[in-house]
């Protein structure tokens, strides 16, 4: 907006003078008005405004972006399923382990193995941990048995635990460390099962590896490697201990291999878990 001036006044003379100045000088005077008398800065700004070099502050602001549509249950379930089965930059190892375990079970069922109650012979053919074979030339069964499951309910229970623990720890330790801990603890659980059941055992399932992830989570909590305040860390620690002991107690009855559970937990808590955390910094007090 131009300021009206009276011909022959000081303001009129200043306006005539500043009308002859180049734009660079006017911009300098306007930006450094504090160094000069107030009339100088005002005259520089008025001339810049007359030339149309100042933004129009009276123009309306752009309309705000439309609000994001509310999330629906369908969208939430879709996100959950994608995170469960599709690898991403944030979660890579957990979906891959879930997908591979499902693939093995699917191939078992397609080959004629019962989805509800496979026979012991069928489990042996697919790589179960068998004393008479694992200790006599087939040590690979220590690992293959981790991906073989004795029925759909056994499979789903372990996969749900794997998914939950993977969400808790993979984002912090990274996919490679999580994968190595999982496999190492699975082997540790298989070895403990063979040692404890000296009369012979035919064991399958990822329980030893999953208990190893419980051990890793305990190491993260004790070592203050998770972004939690003191009260939340204590609550999480109590929850993990409750889940460990409740699963061990449920294993006292029924056809459950608690030796593999304890072996995997010990491997994760005292060996694989601590080794995997070298180089990681604490993130809270």
- Count CB-CB contacts under 10 A for residue 40: 16
Q: Is 195 helix (H, G, I), strand (E, B) or coil?
A: helix
Active-site residue among 145, 207, 246, 276? Answer: 207
Taking CA atoms, 121 is separated from 114, 115, 128, 135, 203, in Å, by 12, 14, 9, 18, 12
Q: Is 160 helix (H, G, I), strand (E, B) or coil?
A: helix
Exposed (0-12), middle (13-18) or buried (19+): which is 255, by Cβ within 10 Å?
exposed
Say if CB 203 and CB 128 are below 8 A apart: yes
Active-site residue among 111, 261, 276, 282? Answer: 261
What gap in Å lies between CA 73 and CA 199, rounded to an integer?
51
197 flagged as catalytic: no
Q: Are strands 202-203 and 129-130 parallel, antiparallel or unpaired?
A: antiparallel
207 flagged as catalytic: yes
Active site residues: 207, 261
């Amino acid at each position: 907006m131009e300021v009206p001036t009276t011909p022959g006044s000081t303001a009129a003379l200043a306006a005539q003078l500043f009308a002859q100045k180049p734009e660079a000088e006017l911009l300098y005077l306007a930006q450094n008005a504090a160094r000069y008398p107030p009339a100088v800065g005002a005259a520089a700004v008025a001339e810049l405004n007359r030339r149309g070099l100042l933004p129009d502050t009276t123009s309306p602001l752009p309309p705000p972006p439309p609000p994001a549509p509310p999330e629906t249950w369908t969208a939430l379930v879709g996100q959950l399923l994608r995170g469960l089965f599709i690898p991403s930059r944030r979660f890579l190892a957990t979906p891959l382990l879930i997908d591979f375990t499902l693939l093995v079970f699917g191939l078992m069922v397609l080959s004629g193995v019962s989805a509800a109650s496979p026979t012991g012979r069928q489990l042996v053919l697919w790589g179960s941990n068998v004393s008479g074979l694992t200790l006599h030339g087939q040590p690979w069964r220590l690992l293959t048995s981790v991906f073989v499951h004795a029925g759909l309910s056994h499979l789903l229970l372990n996969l749900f635990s794997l998914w939950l623990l993977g969400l808790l720890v993979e984002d912090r330790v990274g996919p490679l460390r999580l994968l190595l801990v999982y496999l190492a603890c699975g082997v540790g659980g298989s070895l403990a099962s063979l040692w404890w059941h000296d009369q012979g055992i035919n064991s399958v399932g990822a329980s030893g590896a999953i208990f190893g992830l419980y051990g890793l989570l305990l190491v993260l909590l004790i070592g203050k490697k998770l972004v939690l305040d003191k009260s939340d860390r204590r609550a999480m620690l109590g929850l993990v201990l409750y889940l460990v002991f409740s699963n061990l107690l449920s294993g006292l009855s029924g056809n459950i291999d608690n030796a593999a559970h304890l072996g995997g937990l010990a491997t994760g808590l005292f060996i694989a878990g601590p080794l995997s955390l070298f180089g990681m910094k604490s993130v809270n007090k």
